[in-house]
Amino acid sequence: MAKLPGERQVEEYLQNLVHPLKREIEEVRRIVLGTDRELSEHVKWNAPSFCFHDDDRITFNLHGNGFFRLVLHRGAKAKESINVKRYFEDVQGLMEWVTNDRATIKFTDIKDVEVKRELLKEVVRRWVDVTL
């Protein structure tokens, strides 16, 4: 059986997803995809993941109770250590830094998604730029 194209993988994944914040997850997906035409998506690590030039950059973490996260990272394979954090100001506390090149953004409900919409777009654009 042939592997589904990335976008179709995500659509099927979301169709079958049972999550109390499914609407919010779908909206965050639309926001992220709308920030850069060169972003693609597929399912990796059992969740939707966004790629830039086929390199994973942002992945959903849907394991929270009453929330979900976007994980901003530099892909699955170890890369030269750089301090991506220095390219970001606090961004009003939007990002929680796990390491110098990995951060998360937490969402709790649709109001939270709406409040973070413009900052999220800015962070995604910048993340793609500085993690090449």
pLDDT at residue 1, as a whole number: 45
Q: Which residues, in sequence order, are CB contacts of 122 under 8 Å at separation 6+? A: 91
pLDDT single digits (tens) 28-58: 999 999 999 999 999 998 999 999 988 999 9
Helix, strand or coil, per DSSP, at residue 43: strand
Which pLDDT score, from 0 to 100, does residue 86 have?
79
Structure confidence at residue 3 (pLDDT): 66
Contact 50, 57 (CB under 8 A): yes
pLDDT, position 113: 98
The ranges of the chain with pLDDT < 50 are: 1
Q: Report the candidate in 23, 10, 35, 36 with the shortest Cα–Cα distance to residue 114.
A: 23
pLDDT of residue 80: 67
User: Of 41, 48, 49, 58, which is closest to residue 14 (Cα–Cα)?
Assistant: 48
> How would you list the strands of the sheet with 96-99, edge to edge?
39-44, 47-52, 55-61, 68-72, 102-107, 96-99
pLDDT at 76 (0 to 100):
66
pLDDT at 109: 97
- pTM tops 0.75: yes
> Cβ of 28: how many Cβ atoms within 10 Å?
24
